[in-house]
Chain A
Amino acid sequence: MKKLVITSAVALSMSGVAGSAMAEDIKIGVFLGLTGPIESLVANMAPAAEQAIAEVSESGKLLEGTKVEAVRADTTCVDTAAATSAIERLITSDKVAGVVGGDCSGATTAALTNVALPNGMVMISPSATSPALSTVEDNGLFFRTAPSDARQGVVMSDIIMGKDIKEVAVTYTNNDYGKGLADAFQAAFEEAGGTVTISAAHEDGKADYAAEVGALASAGGEVLVVAGYLDQGGKGIIQASLDTGAFETFVLPDGMVGDALPEAIGPDLNGSFGQAPGTDSPGAGKLVEIAGDYDATSPFAAESYDAAALILLAMQAAGSTDPNKYKDSVMDVANAPGEEILPGELAKALEILAGGGEVNYVGASNVELVGAGESAGNYREIEIKDGALSTVGYR
């Protein structure tokens, strides 16, 4: 009973805010790890999200000319307490109408369950990929434009099997993302008849990885799967493995795919391969064309643009900036039927929605939300050739 009273009180106050916000300008939180282990990726993710927000705001077509402003907040990626207080600030003090984020799975889960859920706030994460987020209780408030790692595990297993490699060692960054991906991969790989010799965690940002590499080398394996971050422990592990001659070929999942890695490691990385969410759909190229001074091909930049776009289109479809109302429209605007919408065409989408029509937001990452509101997953298979990432194909 008490819960019911509180919930209705919250709902009432929220609708009150939203009602008066119709004519007012709104804010959208950009809740990403501006500092911390993936800060170099966020340097391209945050501007991508902000570009979608600016595009909508400048069009003047959202809910009869509502202006939208982006407000940044830092998840820190690793510090769940800092992430929780940051999103608290976004919701209670900045009074945002929706949140693009968080980025890392652990910080995202904490922010969602502790703050966004009790406050009835919609979160669309561009990069949280932990399988655990598929089943977390979210009252329909949480979505992600990134696929679950359960899917990535299967894709990675297929790629490795395709190269006729049957024995691998696995190391993962010790957090929800790394553990989730490593477990999903191990399950898929063993089911396909492969052997995982060791699955060992490593901590990020540490001074030395000789101990981890020693253990991995002793266990052996044809290749080393590194489910980590490219500017953190993942890179440290690869460098130490190459230096000691422990492994020569590495499998790189999404957190490890970025231009910074081959640049930092050099020619020794040639021949390593992996995959990251990505698509060859026309949307990805479109975003590169319209991108400002950021790199739209950087991992999760496209997903960030799409996450921001989805929130704003859902608002238009629901005719409200109240998260509890527009949350039900997110899946509608993301999926068929309707007119297909690419990056740069948000104004057109807003017009169609205002006229009562339907849109199918394809965006930069070929968005198709399935299950509990997560991307079905398109992966770009990459290989390191001549010291640079090159795309081999799409899965």
Chain B
Amino acid sequence: MELYITGTGIVSGAGNSGDDNFLKEAPSYNTDKLLCIEPDYKAYIPPMQLRRMSKAVRIGIGASKMCMEAAGIEKPGAISVGTAMGCLADTEVFLGKMIAQDEQMLTPTAFIQSTHNTVSGQIALLAGCYGHNLTYVQRGHSFEHAVINTQLYLADNPHQQMLVGGIDELTDGSLEALKIAGINRKENSTPADVLNGNTHGAVAGEGAAFFIMTDAKPATPAVCIKDVYAFTEKDTAAAAQKLTNYINSQSLNLDVVILGQSGDEKSNAFYLSLCSGVFANTSQYAFKHLCGEYATSSAFALGMLTNTIAKGEALPSHCALGNEAGVLKNVLIVNHYMHYYSCFVLQIV
């Protein structure tokens, strides 16, 4: 089923979508992690509640409020969220105290906010949304499955506005683990390393990107999700072949592909083979030099596009890997995280 995106909200390492200058300038850093540059939440979250919120909840609520504001709605009909790691900071707070205090004299706040569905639950609570509410936690497909769930839900319950998001926060503990796992890079990276490097692991990231999705075509230009193709594959060459077969089966007249190129040597093999193959004649863009590498970063890529279209702009020049696109009509987002692959087939309508 086709989904139309009518609102976008992003909080990321590259800033937030509420800022007029969002993504206007090329990023500049030399770091191992791109942490969220958080907005002033005054307009979105009551201060009393803000004080009690962990970063995951803050960025999630902030992005969802921006997104609903952009779509001109007060509350969605249903909520679908993807988060690979959930509310890590609160998990670690409770875990740390539990161990340090030998399971005694503990207080519930961090535990209450540590559950994976805290963000979707808090959004429902703040908006008074009694509708369907799901949280997916499938590693590099968490956001993709939240979108597939949106297709399933709207097929059964048409004409609703559904809030859909991808969110993950980075903690010191998770960064350490992700570095050992080889997903994130131990050394610092610059934007050039992400775009052109061939390193072991990629710069770490985090962020929240939320969308209002609906099954009815809106009056103003919008991004339509025609299809979501998600698969797992251990071998990068086999993954590139699978994706090529899929693209060839879709007879797409592609203008732009947005790639999850991260500078990681294992990922590079996958992207390079596509860029010289099925995408040889397509304008290529990157996004991970903005948000870093994390499990739900495809949500950021989608948000970068939908935010661009909503503002009637072109994709940022600093994201172009070669020639910039003349036309922005048929777009693919292709992402790889560990051995989780996804492809969003998009059309601007």
A interacts with B:
no
Interface residues of B (CB under 8 A from A): none
